[in-house]
């Protein structure tokens, strides 16, 4: 029944992008954490989670993202987010996540923020 | 003057009920039905998104915690469109009552990020944040989350 979560990796200048698709719920745990482990093993420092292909996100899915954020903080990596709908952007603000992970309107805007450091 | 009986009957006539098995994923069905009803009532798109998330989280809690993922136990979702408001009730068969309201504070993201608490546990907080009224009631027959969303905030 569920539209299974998929996470695919993409190397771009300055950013390693994890493109998320489908439903980010408890079932997305393996897909997201496996993608995160792969980019970490490649030595990625700036990781962009792209939610533009996500059609459903719930609190269990956001908990997985909090887990990834925890790991990036330990590993001195920078996690960035793009592709959230206005509603999920509001949810991230309500939860306080926006204070810990920058949320951008586009991949280009995320890249510019890295480039301008 | 409108007596109590016809009002109750009218309320029943307008009620939409959905029973789902306690399997993860079925909360999407509750969410989709709630969105359809809200759309018919004329809720704006951003409030429909709030309703979808609140219903999905209440139903997810009922499936996971209330009915302990026992697919033979059903979660009942009852929607009551009433004039300028939509009431949504989510009922499970839990024998464990909700914790008292004073025992449930807002989750600390800092605690979760530092490993002091589980990364989950956001559902109730999100429901409280996204609807206009919410009540958590425990009875001998199970737990009930009653949510109300007004057309005009």
Handedness of CA B47, B52, B53, B59 (dihedral sign): positive
Q: How many domains does chain A have?
A: 1
- Residue B142 distance to chain A (closest CA, Å): 23
Report whether B31 contacts B59 (CB < 8 A).
yes
Please indicate if any CB of chain B lies within 8 Å of the CB of A112. no
Q: How many domains does chain B have?
A: 1
Q: Residue A48: which residues within 8 A CB-CB, separation 6 or more?
A: A15, A16, A17, A18, A80, A81, A82, A107, A110
The range of the structural domain enclosing residue A66 comes to 6-115
The range of the structural domain enclosing residue B105 comes to 4-150
* ipTM metric: 0.90
Q: What's the pLDDT tens digit per position in B111-145?
A: 898 888 888 888 999 999 999 999 999 999 999 99
Report yes or no on A1 lying in a domain: no
Q: What's the pLDDT tens digit per position in A14-24?
A: 999 999 999 99
Please indicate if any CB of chain B lies within 8 Å of the CB of A60. yes
Domain harbouring B66, CATH code: 3.30.565.10
Q: What is the mean pLDDT of residues A82-94?
A: 97
């Amino acid at each position: 029944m569920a539209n299974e979560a998929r996470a695919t990796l993409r190397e771009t200048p300055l950013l390693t992008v994890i493109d998320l698709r489908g439903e980010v719920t408890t079932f997305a745990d393996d897909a997201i954490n496996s993608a995160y482990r792969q980019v970490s093993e490649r030595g990625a420092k700036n990781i962009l989670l792209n939610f533009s292909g996500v059609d459903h996100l719930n609190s269990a899915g956001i908990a997985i993202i909090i887990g990834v954020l925890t790991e990036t903080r330990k590993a001195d990596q920078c996690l960035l987010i793009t592709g959230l709908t206005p509603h999920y952007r509001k949810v991230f603000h309500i939860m306080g996540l926006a204070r810990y992970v920058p949320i951008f309107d586009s991949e280009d805007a995320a890249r510019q923020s890295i480039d301008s450091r | 003057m409108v007596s109590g009986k016809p009002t109750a009957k009218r309320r029943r006539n307008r009620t939409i009920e959905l029973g789902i098995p306690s399997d993860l994923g079925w909360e999407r069905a509750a969410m989709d039905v709630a969105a359809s009803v809200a759309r018919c009532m004329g809720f704006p798109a951003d409030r429909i998104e709030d309703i979808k998330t609140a219903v999905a989280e209440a139903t997810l809690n009922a499936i996971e915690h209330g009915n302990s993922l026992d697919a033979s136990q059903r979660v009942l979702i009852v929607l009551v469109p009433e004039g300028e408001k939509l009431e949504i009730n989510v009922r499970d068969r839990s024998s464990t009552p909700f914790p008292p309201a004073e025992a449930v504070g807002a989750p600390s993201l800092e605690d979760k990020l530092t490993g002091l608490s589980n990364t989950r546990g956001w559902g109730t907080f999100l429901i409280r944040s996204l609807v206009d009224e919410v009540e958590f009631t425990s009875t001998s027959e199970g737990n009930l989350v009653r949510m109300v969303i007004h057309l005009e905030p």
